[in-house]
A and B are shown apart, each in its own frame.
Chain A
Amino acid sequence: MSRRTKNTGSNVRGPNSALTEFLRVEGITDAFRRRREIQQDQAIEGITSGDSSTESSVAPTAAQEVSSNPLRQSSGTASRIENPSEEEDEIVQMRAAARRKRRAARRGSDGDDDFIGADDDDDDDDEDDEDYDSVARSASLGNEYKQSGQEDVCVECEKLFELTVYSRYDKVRRGYLCEDCNQELKQREKNTRRNQQNARRKRKKVAQALLDKTTVSIPTLQDICIKYITSNIDQVEALGGIGSINMNKISKILSKNRSLNNETMTLFLNPDSKSLEFWDCSNVDSDSFNKIASYCPNLESLTLFMCGQLHNDNFEYYSDKLTKLTELNLNGPFLINEVTWQDFFESCGKKLEKLEIRNTHRFSNDSLIGMLENCGKNLTSLKLSRLDGLTSAEVYELIPHYLTPNSLTHLEISYPKSEELVTDELLINLLAITGGSLVSLNVDGCTSLTNNFINEGISSFCKTLTHLSMKGLDQINEEANFKGFNEINGGLISLDLNKCIEMTEAVIYDILKQSCTTLVELNLNSLDNLSKNFFWQVLTDDYEELKVNFKENNADDSLTFYSGLSFPLLTTLNVGFVRSIDDQILNLLSKKCPKLKILEVFGDNRCTYKAKTRSDMIIIGRQGDAI
């Protein structure tokens, strides 16, 4: 009720019931009803001057009216019988009002559409109404009403023509168009529609390319060929002589299209190949996995991702056949059980140098011990991620004891089953052993790591680290001290601090200062503590006038002063959800980072298309970039 009274005055309309819609179209509003009720009350008062006075004093409501309005009752009422002529007048008035409203509504909806006519697709729904008041309309438009078959002058070319039911009415010029002009107009409309569609398609293409972190450019002949080959992969009998880069490219594309299966996989099996990479093996069955070992006995490196169908038997077969294997990367081998892992490490663990295992709950505490005992001392790369079978902190603590000091170059221990499994002590022990040789370290999601891991681990032992990833380490705060690390190599090449939300400007500045000349990839996603002032200072040279002024005006140190840094090699930067980033910072980034190609700004709603950035820089995630 209250909603309805409110709506009558405004143009805002929500979903309506059929009854409401009918009442609206008929012009029956609350005001109308009230007026009629008063009239009716007066009429009743005239006859029975008594009880009705109380009813009229009550504020009328729509619900009451609908149910209690005597006019609505089909049997007819006293008032109707008493006042027939008045009632008829009212009906006439209602009809006129309804017609006015209908016309107004049509004018509103057709505002952008100049033409109406029998052959126009756009306003089919109006046509019922059209019939009723076309006479009135043409009269009101000052144009005499014509019927099909009559002659008329075209408003476009001013020639006489015979009116047909298909002739189009030009609303603006108030006249009909001849068939020729109509055809021309139709063609024009078709063209505009096509242009609109093309523009839409282009916007979509650009947006798609943006999300793929590329720009729309002309495809290379190699890409075209690869597209043809992958789409006709069923007919290919053998791939050969196309170079291992193209081979890998095709394999990756097939994986991406999810069309790597038993048949297509065999195309890549070559007795000479020493390295194989299949990134999506979900459609490869157990028999075909065996083919890898039987066709390519010289394999030294094998990468199987999404290998959910890799069976115990396959794995045993591999340990027999692949005698030269030194590198094994598996993602999702959840059919391999504890016993098979154990056997595998015992039979060919001695040769393994690089091992990566991800996403399996069957790799247990005992499996890890077996792995460490057999291949621990040869390992140069160890990556363990999302292994929910590892549930003992004691077993994790064994890792450093089996590794040869200063031989490991890549270490990843990420997303353990629970955070207390990977502690500061474990990492400090590990880094004490391997820190001298470690090049890349990944501890994503080990959320129990604290400042101690930085201060006593990384800063003390890591002298050659170039890649560091520590996503989600939310306990690292202003007390972390990065000053000691990397005395030999100079700086980091890639750094991922995604969601290390407690890190402060001073800590970030220490890292950046050390690594700014070498950094290629930097991820500061969600570090919302970083202010605009921080970015401005880091990206502005000290001698610039504004910066000098800032230093003078800020003599009382209310804001920390940071010297400007330069990032000559920075290529990709993610500052998503660092909400202080705005157009001005984008401009500075574009100027101060000459190699910056990919910049992600998701969730930074102060970044707009108005930023003046280099054209070769791809900015992803601006709100204004909507398709």
Chain B
Amino acid sequence: MDTAGGDDQYVTLVSADNHRFIISKEVASISSVLKNTQGFEESKTGKIHLDMDGDILECVVEYLYYHHKYKEQAEYGNIPEFNIPTHLALELLVKADYLDI
């Protein structure tokens, strides 16, 4: 996996406390907000700065991959539940609302 920006396939999400998550663009575009950042400055640098802490962003990234992995199987039922730390639920809800996921 290439680091920030170099590879077209990937995009780097940067949290407020400077944690970096390199994820594939396809996965990132599940969130319409992340998808829409492409075409602006973010597409040149390959970095998206997000106003959320690292642990929240980690959950978000996990969810994006979960969504990517299971979206085909969803209608056949029986996908594992996505677990989040209970103490983050409220904050995560705010950020999920922002990211529209």
Contacts and interface: CB of A to CB of B under 8 A. Distances in A.
- Secondary structure of the B contact surface, majority rule: helix
Nearest to A243: B97
A218 B71 contact: yes
B77 interface: yes
A218 B79 contact: yes
A172 interface: no
A106 B99 CA distance: 64
A216 B93 contact: no
A228 B84 contact: yes
Interface in A221-242: 221-222, 224-226, 228-229, 232, 235-236, 239, 241-242
Nearest to B70: A218
B70 A222 contact: no
User: Could you say which of B67, B89, B92 has the most chain A C-beta atoms within 10 Å of its C-beta?
Assistant: B89
B74 interface: yes
B97 A216 contact: no
B75 A215 contact: yes
B101 A220 contact: yes
Given A229-B89, A232-B89, A236-B90, A224 B77 contact: no
A529 B46 CA distance: 64
A467 B83 CA distance: 43
Interface string B64-101: 00010011001111110010101001101110110101
A201 B78 contact: yes
A245 B93 CA distance: 11
Contacts of B70: 218
Given A218-B70, A218-B71, A232-B86, A202 B76 contact: yes
Nearest to A204: B77
A310 B93 CA distance: 32
User: Could you say which of A215, A235, A239, A246 has the most chain B C-beta atoms within 10 Å of its C-beta?
Assistant: A246
A224 B63 CA distance: 10
A404 B95 CA distance: 47
Contact of B89 (A201, A215, A225, A241): A225
A229 B90 contact: yes
A225 B84 contact: yes
Given A221-B63, A222-B101, A224-B84, A229 B93 contact: yes
Given A220-B96, A221-B96, A242-B97, A228 B89 contact: yes
A595 to B, nearest CB: 21
A246 B86 contact: no
A217 B90 contact: no
B23 interface: no
B93 A217 contact: no
A242 B91 CA distance: 8
Given A218-B70, A232-B86, A225 B75 contact: no
User: Could you say which of A205, A218, A228 has the most chain B C-beta atoms within 10 Å of its C-beta?
Assistant: A218
B34 interface: no
A232 B88 CA distance: 12
Give the bracket for the number of chain A residues in contact with chain B.
20 to 34
A200 to B, nearest CB: 10
A228 B91 CA distance: 12
Given A215-B75, A218-B71, A229-B90, A224 B82 contact: yes
Contacts of A239: 90
A301 to B, nearest CB: 22
A15 B60 CA distance: 61
Contacts of B67: 218
Interface in B25-77: 60, 63, 67, 70-71, 74-77
Contacts of A222: 93, 96-97, 101
B74 A226 contact: no
Contacts of B93: 222, 225-226, 229, 242, 246
A198 interface: yes
A45 to B, nearest CB: 75
Contacts of B96: 220-222, 225
Interface in A404-433: none
B92 A225 contact: yes
User: Could you say which of A216, A224, A241, A245 has the most chain B C-beta atoms within 10 Å of its C-beta?
Assistant: A224
User: Could you say which of A216, A222, A226, A246 has the most chain B C-beta atoms within 10 Å of its C-beta?
Assistant: A222
Contacts of B63: 221, 224
A577 to B, nearest CB: 29
A206 interface: yes
B90 A225 contact: yes
A216 B72 CA distance: 11
Contacts of A220: 96, 101
A76 interface: no
A578 B63 CA distance: 45
Contacts of A206: 77
A235 B79 CA distance: 28
B98 to A, nearest CB: 9
A228 B94 CA distance: 13
A216 B77 contact: yes
A217 B97 contact: no
A115 B12 CA distance: 59
6 interchain residue pairs of minimum CB distance: A202-B77, A225-B93, A221-B96, A228-B89, A218-B74, A222-B96
13 contacts: A202-B76, A216-B75, A218-B70, A219-B82, A220-B101, A221-B63, A225-B90, A225-B93, A228-B86, A229-B90, A241-B94, A243-B94, A243-B97
Given A221-B101, A226-B93, A242-B90, 6 more contacts: A201-B78, A205-B77, A225-B84, A232-B86, A242-B97, A243-B97
